[in-house]
Structures are given as C-alpha cells and as structure tokens.
C-alpha cells in the first residue's frame, strides 16, 4: 500500500507495528472487489507480519487469504428487519411470495382393481411471507439463533373433485410428490448467507377395503390473518406464535356414491426454507394442509328413507366436514426427516350440517359409473363454528416439541464430535382418532351401506372393515377411463438474488 503523504503513512505504520511486536499477533485486512485483480467479492486476509518502507511511504502486509467462516468468530448477523440503532436507521424487511398454481389438472392413476381420478382446477397458494433471521456468536460459539415468519395475504385454495371405481379386498396407499418450485432467495457471497425458499406440493391416497364407485367435490379456501407471527428459537428449541387461527370458507359439498369401504385423501402445500449462515445450516418448514370429507350412507327402506321426504324409499345421507392444519418444523440442514422441533400452529375441523336426500331408483342402489348415481348438494348454511381439537393432531402431523441437545460443534468449535453421542432426540407421534358421528338407521331399513370418504392425512384415520351385510356386485370401469398418469411435470429452476442484509 502506497501512501500519498507522510502523515497518513506514519498513522498506518503506528497502528500496524503492533502485529510485529509479538509472534502470535494477527489482524484481518479485507480486500474489496477486484483489489487483488482476481477476487470477485470482498475477501478477508489474515495478516501476520508488516514491512515498512519509510523513504517510499509504502507498507507491505504479509499474510494469507481466508474466508468469512474462519475470521468471523464473534459477530451478529441480521437478515430482513433488525432493531433500530443509533448508527443505522436502515430497517428493510425481506419477503418472498408464494403465488403458485397447484399442478394437478387431471390425474388418473391405478389399474385393475382400482381406478382413481383427481382434478383440482384453480387450486394453489397466494400471498407472501415476511422473513427475519438473527444469529449471534462469540468466539465461534452461537449464543442466539432466531427466525421469524409472518404471512401477508396468504391463501390456500383446495377444491378437488375425486372419482373412484374399486373392487379391493385389501388396502393400497401411495404418495405422489407433485414437485418443488424454487422461490427467489438471497445470497451473501463468501459463504456468509444462503437462503433458498421452496414451495413443495404433494398428494396421496389410502384406499381399501373398498367396493363400488363414488365421486365427491369438497374443500374450500384457507386464509391466514396478517397479524399472525411465529418466532422459532433454534438454539434452545422453542416456538412462540399467535394469530395463526385460519379462516376456512367451505366449498359447497356434492357427492354421488354407490360405495362400501374406506377412502382417505391428502393434499399439502409446504413452504421450505433452506438456510445456511457461516456454516450453520437449518431447514425450516411451514406446512398448510387443508382437508375435506364426509361420512356417506346409502339406505334402502320400505318406508321413508328421510323423515322429511315422504315416499322416498332410498336416500343418500351425509355428515360432511372440512378443516385445516398448519404445522411448523425445524431441522438441522440435510436432516429434514428428523426435525428437532415441530409444533402444530393450528388444527381445526368444521362440522357442516347433516342432510338427507331421498330418491326412487328402483329395487337396488345405484351402481356403475360416477355419473350413474344421483348428485346432491349441501343446502346453504350460515358460517360454521370451528371445532377445536382437544386431542393431539393426527399421526401424520409432527409430535409436540421433542428433546434436543445442543450440537457438540457449537460448544467445541475446534473439536470433533464424539462418535458415540447424538445431538438430536426425536420423539414418536401419537395416533389419536377423530370423533366419528354415526348416522341412525331407519327402523324399517332393508339394506344399508356406508363409506368414509374422507380427504384427510392418510395415517390419521382408522380404516373400517366393509359392512358384512352388503356385498354389491363389482362395478364396471367407466368407459374412457385411463390408468396412465398425466401429472404435469415441474421444471426446476432456481433464482438467487442479493437481497437486504446486515452484517
């Protein structure tokens, strides 16, 4: 470094002479973009010796190039909003949008004993999440690691139409990932920060024992309040949250069925945050899981199948319900299968009015294709009251907060972790069942078949056995059905941009 005047040179020489006075003294010198001609970003150097050229007013710093992980042993890093300070008034927030359509236009899967069609036109997510992250370390040991998340105009639309033709003596379960869509994130060069938000969609089913055919339209729109917020303490695992109670607007329920058995459906949209700051990596997820379903009963009787409809000897009786669950999770990077923290932010079930619609279809219940059975709609109703789950969430939801030990490397940055220890203890989930509501049989009923057509997480419902008194004939597969899958592929793309950050 060449100095233009003697005063500046003497000042630099006085300050840096300190490193030559003791053998183990060093300091960090940061070179700007292109100052070394070959460095594309700001680069730290560890200086071990300094040479002075008094006649030429020149100082040569001798050392080696390093990285931010090794030189930043004590620091605070804020991403997004930060507390106001006397030195800096900058308080820019960071947000990412989740405006995505669900790629599930018309899917047909299965063959032989099971054919299933699934349509979800207009399904998807809207809005954005505001994000904040703070990490503080001292001498390489993290002292504070927190993440904040709040929604703004977030909605999830879930209005599927499902059709099934089956003759299954046993049970079949499958899950279909629909794809992961990267969302614009932020990156600070030099390994300081990399945040890559992703939106993940998927669906699945668990069917059987099942015999017959059915079609169902259900679901609704889930919206989150802008006042909701969640703060996750990643160092001492804990979640503080509020305002996440969802507003669920149910879609009018329709059904046509000649079915005996069990059907379970699951659909989810998950916001996943892969975050790495100076070699400390975490995966944080918020899962929006709306569901809908009904208990369906088909009745044939010599009297009135529905008390308020005279002369109708056959009927469809429904107990529909819709709801939603929101789950927050956190895991060490690349270990999302074993989250060290999970919490159910909200879990609601709305029970809609029970109704009975009678018809006269001859001596037997309707059979055949989806369209052969009559279709009915739930009568209009006022806004339903939410039913708060008093038991633990279904088994597919994460369990309450498990026990965690701090990773060994955080308290011993220069040591390797012992081979026989584990830093994560993951508790098992309980498997409670939802309360079921039985539909009374008509006293003069001559035949009855019931089905549980429930669009909920597959592992949360116990599959009932087929009614022993009903053995409907096998249902022919509707003409024009196909067993091939037409899931729309998602092209993975990643856009990382530099966003607001403070070091």
Do the bridges between strand 185-188 and strand 496-497 make them parallel or antiparallel, or are there none, so unpaired? parallel
Q: Domain residues of the chain, as ranges?
A: 6-66, 75-391+440-502
pLDDT in the model for residue 9? 92
Quote the mean pLDDT of the chain.
Answer: 66
Cis peptide bond upstream of 209, omega within 30: yes
The C-alpha atoms of residue 415 and residue 268 are separated, in whole angstroms, by 41
pLDDT at residue 58, as a whole number: 92
Low-confidence ranges of the chain (pLDDT < 50): 84-91, 361-411, 413-503
pLDDT digits (tens, 9 = 90+) for 471-502: 333 333 333 333 333 333 333 333 334 444 44
State the DSSP H helix or E strand holding residue 296, giving kind and residue range, or none if neither.
Answer: strand 280-301
Residue with tokens 């995505």: 100
pLDDT digits (tens, 9 = 90+) for 135-151: 888 877 778 888 888 88
Compute the chain's Rg from CA coordinates: 31
Give the C-alpha separation, 73 to 142, whole Å.
9
Q: Tell me what pLDDT residue 105 has.
A: 66
149 is written with which tokens? Answer: 């998340």
Q: What is the pLDDT of residue 355?
A: 65
Q: First CA to last CA across the chain, in angstroms?
A: 26
Could you give the 3-state DSSP secondary structure of residue 121?
Answer: coil
pLDDT in tens, 337-389: 778 887 787 776 766 667 676 766 444 333 333 333 333 333 333 333 433 33
The widest CA-to-CA distance across the chain, in whole angstroms, is 116
């Amino acid at each position: 470094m060449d100095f233009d005047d003697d005063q500046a040179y003497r000042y630099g020489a006085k300050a840096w002479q300190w490193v030559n006075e003791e053998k183990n003294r060093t300091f960090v010198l940061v070179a700007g973009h292109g100052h070394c001609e070959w460095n594309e970003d700001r680069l730290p150097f560890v200086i071990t010796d300094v040479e002075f050229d008094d006649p030429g007013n020149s100082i040569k710093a001798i050392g080696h190039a390093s990285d931010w992980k090794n030189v930043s042993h004590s620091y605070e890093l804020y991403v997004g909003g930060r507390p106001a300070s006397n030195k800096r008034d900058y308080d820019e927030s960071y947000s990412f949008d989740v405006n995505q359509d669900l790629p599930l236009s018309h899917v047909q899967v299965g063959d032989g004993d099971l054919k299933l069609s699934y349509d979800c036109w207009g399904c998807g997510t809207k809005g954005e999440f505001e994000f904040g992250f703070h990490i503080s370390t001292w001498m390489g040991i993290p002292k504070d690691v927190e993440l904040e998340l709040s929604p703004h105009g977030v909605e999830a639309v879930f209005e599927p139409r499902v059709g099934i033709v089956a003759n299954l003596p046993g049970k079949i379960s499958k899950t279909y990932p629909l794809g992961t869509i990267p969302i614009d994130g932020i990156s600070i060069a030099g390994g300081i920060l990399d945040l890559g938000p992703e939106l993940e969609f998927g669906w699945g089913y668990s069917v059987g024992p099942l015999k017959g055919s059915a079609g169902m339209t259900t679901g609704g729109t889930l919206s989150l309040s802008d006042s909701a917020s969640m703060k996750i303490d990643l160092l001492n695992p804990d979640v503080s949250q509020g305002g996440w109670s969802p507003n669920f607007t149910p879609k009018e329920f329709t059904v046509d069925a000649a079915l005996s058995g069990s059907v379970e459906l699951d659909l989810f949209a998950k916001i996943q945050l892969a975050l790495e700051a100076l070699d400390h990596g975490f995966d944080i997820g918020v899962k929006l899981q709306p569901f809908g379903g009904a208990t369906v009963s088909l009745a044939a009787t010599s009297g009135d199948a529905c008390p308020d409809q005279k002369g109708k000897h056959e009927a469809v009786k429904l107990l529909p319900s819709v709801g939603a669950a929101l789950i927050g999770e956190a895991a060490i990077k690349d270990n999302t299968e074993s989250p060290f923290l999970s919490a159910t932010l909200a879990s609601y079930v709305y029970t809609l009015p029970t109704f009975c619609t009678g018809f006269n279809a001859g001596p037997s219940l309707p059979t055949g294709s989806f369209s052969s059975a009559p279709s009915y709609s739930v009568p209009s109703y006022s806004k339903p009251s939410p039913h708060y789950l008093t038991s633990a969430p279904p088994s597919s939801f994460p369990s309450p907060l498990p026990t965690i030990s701090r990773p060994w490397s955080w308290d011993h940055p220069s040591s390797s972790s012992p081979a026989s220890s584990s830093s994560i203890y993951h508790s098992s989930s309980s498997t409670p069942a939802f309360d079921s509501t039985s539909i009374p049989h008509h006293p003069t009923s001559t035949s009855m078949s019931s089905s549980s057509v429930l669009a909920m997480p597959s592992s949360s419902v116990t599959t009932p056995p087929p009614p022993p008194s009903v053995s409907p004939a096998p249902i022919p597969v509707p003409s024009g059905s196909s067993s091939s899958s037409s899931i729309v592929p998602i092209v993975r793309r990643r856009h990382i941009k530099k966003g607001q950050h403070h070091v």
